[in-house]
Every structure is written in C-alpha cells, then in structure tokens.
Amino acid sequence: MRTLYYSHPDFLFHNTGPGHPECADRLRSIEKALDAPEFSNLIRHSPPLGSEQQVRLIHPQLHLDTLLEAMPEQGECYLDHDTVLSSGSKQAAFRAVGAVCDALDQVLTGAADNAFCALRPPGHHAEPQLAMGFCLFNNIAIAAEYARRQHQLERIAIVDFDVHHGNGTQAAFYHQPNVLYASSHEMPHYPGTGHPSETGVGNIINVPLAAGDSGIEFRQKYSTIILPALKKFRPELVLISAGFDAHKDDPLASIGLVEDDFKWITEQLMAIADSCCNGRIVSALEGGYNLKALAASVAVHVKSLSDLQK
C-alpha cells in the first residue's frame, strides 16, 4: 500500500494554553510512535497551506472573517469555554485544510492508495457558521466538498468514530444526499447531537453508544448498521474522521475501546473501500486525549492503512 502521512510543524504552534486537552503534545506522541522503523514505508508529505476558497466550500465568508479578526498577535483568545485561538492558529488551521485537500488530490489521481493526516486543530465540531469544540474549520467536511467540486465525485462517505458526535459535519451535509455521514459516539455526551432520529435526507446515520460500552457493542453496531449502509451506498471515496477518544483510557469519555478495535474498524472500512472505490481512503485526526493511548491507537490505524499487519 502507498500510504501518505501528512504532518507539519505549524500544527504544534496552535497554542491552546496550559492544561488544555487538545494540545501539541498529542502530535508529538504520534510522531514518536510513527518514527519507528516499521513505518519506514510511509510516504511523508509536508502539506501546503489551504486557501480561503477551500475553506469557503463549507464556511461562509462571515465565519472566515470573524475568525481571522479574532486571531490574537500574542497569548490566547477564547471563542468559547474550550475553543482557543493563538498567534499560530491561523497557520495551523489553513495547513490542516491544505493537508486534507492535498491528500485527496494525491489519492484521487492514483499517486497514493490512502492517506492519514495528523493535524490540529481538529474539525468535526465546526459548523458552517460556528467554531466550537476545539474546532475552527471542518477539515473533513471541506475535504468532502472539495472532492465533489474539484473531482466531481457523486457518492462520498464520511465515517466518524470519534467518541463525540460530529455535529459540524452533520450540519454541513444534512440536506446533501451525495454525502453519507455515519457516526458512532457516546450519548448523552458533548455536543448533545447525534440522535438516531437525525437522518437528514436519509444520508445521516447516527449510532449512539452508552457509557461503559466496549468493543463488543462497537463492533456489533458497525456490523449491523453502519457497514451494511456503506456497502449499499457504494461510495467513490471513504473519508474518516479518526478520533481515538473512545479508548478505554481517554479522560474525556466513558467508552471502552482498545487498540484492536481501532485496527478492526480500519480494516472493515478498507475492505469496503477496496470493493467500491479502489481502496481510496483519506483519514484525518480528530480527538484522542490520553497521549499513550492516542499514539498506540494511531499506530494500529496507520499500520492497517499501510497493510503492515498482513
């Protein structure tokens, strides 16, 4: 497998302040794990800066202007109780958009089979007109719309296994039948959305997990609900909002997944992509706040994408 790995120093300079769980050490832990010799086959890419035009595929100009005007020259600025801007946030946020769009270009033109983008800030809580939940721009939603507009794809699937519901991604595509959004998430939990009754135009699939659920419930619900829906949809591209905060050791949730569960879901999504769209997958980092668990979970995710475990 030709797997692209995107990272950049700019992502470290989005400073969220002391004690914030969405911190630069998350990426440092991932970099350390993926520096192991077994990952020597990864094709490492430095992403370009994304453009305002790409951001506007999902976010209106007012949202963009509001964020840019709020960017501090020094220190931090809180947009809400947990969403922070710093002097490095603009570069990081645009670099994250550039990573997912460049990854799409590479995968959809056949230069690579799949890609994993180790980026921050994350994106799936960012609604078209609202930054929230650590998120400024909705990276994965921008990627989906970029694939529709730039590459003329007609069926795009987004699978979100972050422990928090991707309210922003759902909002972006709630009335768009060409994009299937499927999410597993703890409920009730932040941000309070993601009830199974939220179905859009039949393109939204929300599968709540209860506090205390483990890989047994996770795999059962994917096997009976999400994976059959993906096979029926037959996507031309699979995008992954890869959050690893459903891990049993994560401090921000109460789901009991382990590394092998992330390996399993990655392999299941790869099998569907292989059968529908020549294996085309672009995965982007969302949550995961226990550094050891995050690094280990990302490692098995990327191993699976790279076909290292077969």
Active site residue 151: no
As to burial, measured by CB atoms within 10 angstroms (0-12 exposed, 13-18 middle, 19+ buried), residue 267 is middle
Main-chain phi, psi angles of 80, to 5 degrees? -150, -165
Catalytic residue among 59, 63, 125, 164: 125
As to burial, measured by CB atoms within 10 angstroms (0-12 exposed, 13-18 middle, 19+ buried), residue 150 is middle
CB atoms within 10 A of CB 297: 30
Positions marked active-site:
125
